[in-house]
Structures are given as structure tokens and as C-alpha cells.
Structure 1
Amino acid sequence: MDMIRQLAVLMPAMRRADRAVPFHRRMLYTGLSLSVFMVCSHVPLYGVRYAASGADPLSWVRSILASHRGTLMEFGVGPVLTAGTVTQLLTASKLIRVDQNVRWDRDLMDGARKVLAVTIALGEAAAYVLLGMHGPVGALIVLQLFSASVLVAAANLD
């Protein structure tokens, strides 16, 4: 967990409110987050080429993960959901001990979730490019998918 603590400092984060936030302000923030997500869902990845058939092998899971093929939201919330599930399993099986009453432990677990989500996103992006799902501009596509996933992870985990 010491290594995770050092990496978690590098992750972008939204600051937690130190007081009660009025409902109308929460709705404003939710609307802004949704707007950014929707815009990213329509921004195509630069350098992506698709076969003429246009078959999408993951079409059945796209609505569950809020992802859109060929856009910045190619992964949607998949890495965040996977990271949350893995950390919950590790906590429930007592492989890592977290006291939810201690703020330091909660913050460390949030950081671990972010690091894991970003790592999963980077692995998925590399796998997509290596398996040929997107055209020849591999590093640029990985960078785009990784950046969008960092944005989603920062917004969803705090």
C-alpha cells in the first residue's frame, strides 16, 4: 500500500466538500459532469480506422458500461467499475485491511481505486491497439483513451 500511496498523490482528484452543498448546486455539478461525458461520447478518436463491415464485438455490453465505439468514451465507466469491484473483493476477503471509520484509510482506498482504474484503462487501451481494433496510429490512440479514462476516474471516484 505504500507504493499505492505514492502513486495516488499523482492522480487528479475533485476536492470533497467541507460543508453541506445545496441541492441546486449539486444538480449544476451533475449536469456539468454529464455534459462533459456526453461531449466526450461524441468526439471521435483521432486516427481510428474501421473495417467496412463495422461489426462491433462489444455492442451487447456498451449500454451497461456507458461506452461508445470510436469515441473518447470507448471504455466508458468500465475501468472505474472494475477497479471498484476488485478493491471491494480485496477488502471483503481481508487481503487488505481498511477501517472505514478512519479518514486516512478511506483516502488511501480511494487512491488505490483510482490507480487501479487508470492501470486497467492503460492495459485496455494497449490491448485494443495491439489486437488491431483501431488503426495504425497506436500510441496516439492509447494516449487519447488513457486521458479520457483518467478524466472519468477523477470525476467518479471522489
Structure 2
Amino acid sequence: MVNKRKGYFMLAVLWLAYVTFAMNWVAGSSLTPQITKTFFSGPVDPVVSELVNYSITTARVFANILAAIILMRLGAKKAVGVGVGLLIMGLIAIWMPNYWAYTIARMVMAIGGLMVIVYMNPVVSRYISDPKEKLKINAANTVSYNIGAFIVAVLLLCLPIKW
């Protein structure tokens, strides 16, 4: 019973972390024109925008491999802490002095977010034994990114930001 309760707590933390990651990711992506205008004092060459998009996508690909390696070496508990820590480090992006530092901070956040989602299945497998319950939890994990994106979409619609 204690392990099951502990498992649900860890799942809640992971789920909320991934929803938060999605909110940050979608908000940052939807505000890219305003962000680049702020850093570059005007429009940016499309090549620069594409370079940033592809570099972040590349970071997301390697994050899955990195997440698996860290999980095997540290175990589930410590690996989750590393993933959540990297995800939280994405918060420093708003204080970055230039666009490239901002982009690197977003890549770190992407790696942390992807590590968190990779760790959800081992946590479910370790602490939850009922197959029907596992299915429900995995379904909730699958929609977590979409829930975060939906929250941001509603906020951006209801609270338009003036730049």
C-alpha cells in the first residue's frame, strides 16, 4: 500500500511536470516572433529561425537516448530528479541575455521534459500492478502534453499579450 501511494505521488509529480513542460514549450513556440524581435530588435532571417527549430528537435531526439542511459545508471528515483531538475532549469530562459543562450536554455528544458515522459512508464510498471490501472495511467500520461498545450491555447486566447 505504501509503495502504491508512493507510486501515485511520483506519477502526479511527473504528470504535472510534463503538463508544465508542454505549457512552457507551446507558449515559447507561439511567441517566437515576439521573442526574436525582442532579442534582435526586428525581424530575423528565416534561416536563423529554422536553425533554432531543428537544433531543438535534434535535442529532443537525443534526449530519449540520454534519458534511457541515465535511467539505467541512476535508477528511477534519481533519474526522475535529474529530469525534473533539467526541466526546471528551463525557467532561466527568461533571464538569458541573448537569443542563443535562450535557445540553449530551451534545449535543456526539452531534454528534461522528454526525460520525464520516458520515466513515466518505468514508474507505472514498478508501483502499479493492476493492468487496467496501468492502462488508465498510461492514457492519462499520453494526453498530458495535449492538456498543457490546451491550457496555453486558452490562456493565449483569453489573455492576449501585447508586445
Fold equivalence (TM over 0.5): no
TM-score by length of 2: 0.32
The TM-score, its normalising length taken from structure 1, stands at 0.32
